[in-house]
A and B are shown apart, each in its own frame.
Chain A
Amino acid sequence: MINYIWFGMICAGVVCACVTGRLGELSAAVMGGAQGAVELSLSLLGSMCAWLGFLRIAEEGGLTALLARGFSPFIDRLFPEYRGDREIQGKICMNLSANFLGLGNAATPLGIAAMRAMQERSPHKDTPTKGMVLFVVFNTASIQLLPVNMAAMREACGSAQPFGILPEIWLTSLGALVVAVLFCKMMERRAPPPRPGPYNGTA
């Protein structure tokens, strides 16, 4: 799947650049994109190390297990595969809390830690479990208590009420998440638990 997306993006881009005569921009884009990724990783490196460090302290102290137990009615239902697995549940909770509190720098490292823990338990090397797909889908949505970045942008543009759109944002993000999660649950029911291959036709 990712094979086709990546291939398609680059091929369509090259064809388009030929037609529109933007070949110069295209060559700059290839190298610029690669360089941008390195710059992003460098800026991510600090927060990645710091947050995985704090995560380890929270895990060894038993804080994440406590968090997992608190949220287990919710987490058990969404991720039934990991019922009772306090390590994975703890990592999922840490990521979702970071997202909720708007700590974007923390959410990615914590989310990757959760994905890796789920992958360790999975018998399949290249196919995600249902829980992994649902977890990624949670992270493609944006559930945030206080969207401070957006408020700052609005304030910079002279808004009289930077936070005036809070109810709209809450309803919209929650609605979008519910739609995506329902879709996942429907697909989970349709497809048997992951075997290498069965999703090829649908994805």
Chain B
Amino acid sequence: MEQASAAALPVILCVILLFGFFRGVDVFDAFLAGAKEGLRTTLGILPTLIGLMLAVAVVRDSGLLDILCGLARPLAEAVGVQPELLPLAVLRPISGSGSSAYTLSLLEEFGPDSGAGRMASVLAASTETTFYAITVYFGSCGIKKLSYSVPAGLLGDAAALAFTVLTVQLFS
């Protein structure tokens, strides 16, 4: 399976290149035009990224995140979820690197094939860093009103937690 995944990128690149080349596209010129846009886009989202990551770091390092996770703990015990899993559910939409590190620590502590380890794996792999996606995507085109994107994204994350518990218990 790793091989199949590793082959995806070269295959896609070949298809794009061959298709463009035989359709008579000036492939290198087209590439340069796109890459130039990439330069502008990256610079354009940098202020948004700085604002977001600074705020996430403040929430994490001030101890606020630990308090939030602590509040969620009794809730986890009430529904029969490993309490260690809940901090992951809180962390996952906010910080990608933070939740990866926490998932790794859970896998090491409980073992990747234990119930808690499987739940941590499923939850971490089935969700994305919701706030990062929302801020970067909207920030890249100057959108300031987020409409109902935040509740929709968080509802998806909550649903992922419920489905994680259900599927892991169902399949084990």
Binding site for B on A (CB under 8 A): 1-3, 5-6, 9-10, 12-14, 16-17, 20, 22, 25-26, 28-30, 32-34, 36-38, 40-41, 44-45, 48-58, 60-63, 101-103, 108-109, 111-113, 115-116, 118-119, 125-128, 132-133, 135-137, 139-142, 144, 146-151, 153-154, 156-165, 167-169, 171-173, 175-177, 179-180, 183-184, 187, 191, 194, 196, 199-200, 202-203
Contact A40 B163 (CB under 8 A): no
Chain B residues within 8 Å of A32, by CB: 57, 61
Binding site for A on B (CB under 8 A): 1-2, 4-5, 8-9, 12-13, 15-17, 19-21, 23, 25, 27, 30-39, 41-43, 45-46, 49-64, 67, 93, 100, 103-104, 107-108, 111-113, 117-118, 121-128, 130, 133-138, 140-153, 155-157, 159-160, 163-164, 167-168, 171
Given contacts A61-B23, A102-B5, A173-B127, 20 further A-B contacts (CB under 8 A): A33-B57, A37-B46, A37-B49, A49-B34, A49-B35, A49-B42, A50-B38, A54-B31, A133-B147, A136-B133, A136-B153, A140-B130, A141-B156, A142-B126, A151-B1, A165-B168, A169-B125, A173-B125, A179-B155, A183-B156
Q: In the complex, what distance in Å separates the CA atom of A133 from the CA atom of B156?
A: 14
Known: A109-B41, A180-B156. A57 touches B58 (CB 8 A): no
Q: In the complex, what distance in Å separates the CA atom of A164 from the CA atom of B117?
A: 12
Chain A residues within 8 Å of B19, by CB: 58, 61-63
Known: A108-B136, A173-B126. A128 touches B143 (CB 8 A): yes
Chain B residues within 8 Å of A38, by CB: 46, 50
Contact A125 B107 (CB under 8 A): no
Chain A: interface secondary structure?
Answer: helix
Chain B residues within 8 Å of A44, by CB: 42
Contact A119 B125 (CB under 8 A): no
Contact A132 B140 (CB under 8 A): no
Q: B34: nearest residue on chain A (CB-CB)?
A: A56
Contact A116 B141 (CB under 8 A): yes
Q: In the complex, what distance in Å separates the CA atom of A53 from the CA atom of B29?
A: 9
